[in-house]
Amino acid sequence: MIIIFEPQCRGFQHEQFNAGFLYGYSLAYPEEKIVFWGEKEHIQCIKTIFSSANLSLDNTEFVELEIPNPDLLMAVFEYSKIIKGLLSYSYKNNCDKIVLLSIHTYNLIPLKYLLQFKYKNTIRVHVAMHGILESVKRKNSSFLLEFFEKGTRYLKKTMGIENRQGKHEPKNKYLYEKLFKMSMHLFNNKNITYFVFREDSLLKLNKYLPKIYKYFKSIDLPYIYKNVRNINFDTGSSNLMTFATFEKGYSNELRKIVRVLIHDNTLSDNFEIRILGGNVSKNLDTFEQIKYIGDSGKLLREEIEESIIDARYVLLFYPENSYELMPSGVFFDAIAYSKPVVFLKNHCLDYYYEKYKFGYRCNNVDEMIDAMGEIISTEESSERSFVSEIIRMQQDITISNNYLKLRFAKETTMKTKRTIPGRVA
């Protein structure tokens, strides 16, 4: 038996990746029963993906549970109960393989503590590392210093002498992010393996986590790729080139792009930029070339698919130093829909671009504007070669070809050590 647990994601958060993981482990262990623990709506999303891909879930059992609110300091205690129940269930069912599809400080600490002091050498664990891993790069100020800074700001505000030079941003936004790097070093256990999603991320971790680097492995982000390659490369009678993007704070870049392109009368009527999700920016809603899909909040997966499936390109504005250790889910969505990408140089995208020329890599927004202008004015033929490269990338990185990386380490003496003194709750 293998237990796969999603401790944090609800609904369609990470549902594509988690379905990929589930499929990968089912390929790696076709003879084993898999028990998936997760939130009710999240489980339904995963079932939908398997159904649409005509994949079987015959050997999989699902266990629904409530996910704690991570914004509360009490989350660590709530997760302790869940992790304790998970490990107890594993032990009682003679299961020595557990997978956690996401992790954070509030569930990593109780997991490592229980594995170290109650279930040592009896359970092997795989942990998927997502966005929180970026926090290990940060240098945290001491808690006493931060407490003093916050107290000083509070007094200034109360006395009406708050700093007028601008809003003070803390070095780290969340307490749990401050503690994450420390939690990675607590209660180290050779039976825990952490997965990152690019080979270069694995190499860079040696810089940030040299003492525990040996516990990490890499695999391309698992994804079940659909056959969405019937692409119409002709804009048709509308003569409209459509780009899709996610705003996420990049309204300045979008505003500059639109203003430059509409200034060229030969381009202004020939393109549209669809912004998926996010709040409507007052700086952008006056442009007729901008189309918002969803005025606020998160879109459903179906809404994203409907909006991106007939777009021709995806725009990504990630800063160069972002996604150094983690993958971009939006980028993998673009690849899944076979959409070429116009993007700024970035750790994650550059890694794949060196192998697969899936679009236009730009050094700055001005170069993005030039690339978009060429795309709009010429309806250029490079799109076909970009899509061909994307299909090649899909074939190379699909979990169907890489599932053996998910095999657990050899058991050695593990089964002979499955004796735990005292009563297991």
CATH match of 2-138+171-221+402-417 with 3.30.70: no
- Residue 124: name the closest of 36, 37, 192 by CA: 192
- Both tokens of residue 86? 């998970």
CB atoms within 10 A of CB 243: 22
Q: For residue 18, what is the enclosing H or E element?
A: helix 15-28
In this chain, the answer to whether the domains covering 2-138+171-221+402-417 and 236-399 adopt an identical fold is yes
Tens-digit pLDDT profile for the chain (425 aa)? 999 999 999 988 899 999 999 999 999 999 999 999 999 999 999 999 999 899 999 899 999 999 988 777 788 899 999 999 999 999 999 999 999 999 998 899 999 999 999 988 789 999 999 988 988 886 654 444 455 555 565 565 566 554 433 333 334 345 667 788 888 988 888 899 999 999 999 888 988 999 999 999 999 999 998 765 555 555 554 568 999 987 666 778 888 898 899 888 778 788 898 888 765 565 666 778 888 876 555 667 777 777 788 889 999 999 888 899 998 888 998 999 999 999 999 999 999 999 999 999 999 999 999 999 999 887 666 888 999 999 999 999 999 999 999 999 875 444 444 444 333 33
* pTM recorded for the entire structure: 0.83
The residue extents of the domains of the chain are 2-138+171-221+402-417, 236-399
CATH 3.40.50.2000 for domain 236-399, yes or no, is yes
Number of H helices, E strands in the chain: 14, 13
Question: What string of H, E and C letters represents the secondary structure of 192-247?
Answer: EEEEECCHHHHHHHHHHCCCCHHHEEECCCCCCCCCCCCCCCCCHHHCCEEEEECC
Distance of CA 261 to the CA centre of its chain: 32
